[in-house]
Amino acid sequence: MRTANVTRKTNETDIRLSLNLDGSGVSEINSGCGFLDHMLTLFARHGRFDLNITCAGDVNVDDHHTAEDIGIALGKAFDAALGDKKGITRFANTVLPMDEALVLSAVDISGRGYLGYEMTLPTEKVGTFDTELGAEFWLAFARNANVTLHIRQLAGANSHHILEGAFKSVARSLRAAVAIDPAAADEIPSTKGVL
C-alpha cells in the first residue's frame, strides 16, 4: 500500500493528514474552510485517493495559512507515499469540463517542483475563500510533492466552476500519473534511473 501520514504544526496551523494513493476516494476533510473542504473532498473522489485531513488554523485572520499549509502537507504526503516511484506512469494530463469552465492540467512526477498556473478568475472570492489562494495551494503542493504541474484555464466565467474544474482535473491527472504501468512495474520511469 502506498500510504503516508503527515503531521505539520506551526504557530499558524496544526495539521494531521493521511493519504492512501490506492484507495477508493473516501475522505474526511475538516480544514476550517468550507470551500477548501469541498475542493479537497472532490479531489479525493476524482483521484480515488483515500484522504483524511484535520486542520486547526488561524482562519480568524483569513484562509491563506490554512490553504498553503494543507498544500504543503498534501505534497509531502504524495512524495512520501510514492517512495522510489518505481513503476509509476509518471506523466498524465486531463482536460476537464465543469459547466462553462474548461481546465487543463498536466503533471510530471519528475522530482522537480514547479507550478505553471494560468487562471483568470472573475471574482476575488467564492464565499469567504479568496480565489487567489488556489494558486497558493497548488504552488505549495507542487513544491512539496516534487512534481511539475501545469494548470491552465481554457474557458470559464464562474470562479467556483473554474476552481472546481482545476481540483478535479489535477486529481484525474495525478490518479493517472501515480498508476503503476504493468509493462514497466519494476522500472524507474527515467533514463537517469532515479526520480
For 75-119, the pLDDT digits (tens) are: 999 999 999 999 999 999 999 999 999 999 999 999 999 999 999
pLDDT for the residue 58:
96
* Model pTM score: 0.97
The answer to whether residue 1 scores a pLDDT higher than 90 is: no
Q: Give residue limits of the domains in the chain.
A: 3-184
Pairing mode, if any, of strands 27-30 and 50-57? parallel
CA–CA–CA angle 68, 70, 74 (5° rounding): 120
State phi, psi for 181 to the nearest 5 degrees.
Answer: -85, 110
Distance CA(149)–CA(182), nearest Å, equals 24
* Fold of the CATH domain 3-184: Ribosomal Protein S5; domain 2 (3.30.230)
pLDDT 10s digits, 15-70: 999 999 999 999 999 999 999 999 999 999 999 999 999 999 999 999 999 999 99
4-12: long-range contacts at Cβ-Cβ below 8 A with a sequence spacing of 24 or more? Answer: 4/76, 4/77, 4/78, 4/80, 4/81, 5/77, 6/73, 6/74, 6/76, 6/77, 6/80, 8/69, 8/72, 8/73, 8/76, 10/65, 10/69, 12/57, 12/58, 12/65, 12/69
The answer to whether residue 193 scores a pLDDT higher than 90 is: no
pLDDT 10s digits, 133-160: 999 999 999 999 999 999 999 999 999 9
The answer to whether residue 191 scores a pLDDT higher than 90 is: no
Question: What sign for the dihedral angle of Cα 13, 56, 75, 85?
Answer: positive
HSE-up of residue 124 (Cα within 13 Å, Cβ side): 0
H or E element: which one contains 187?
none
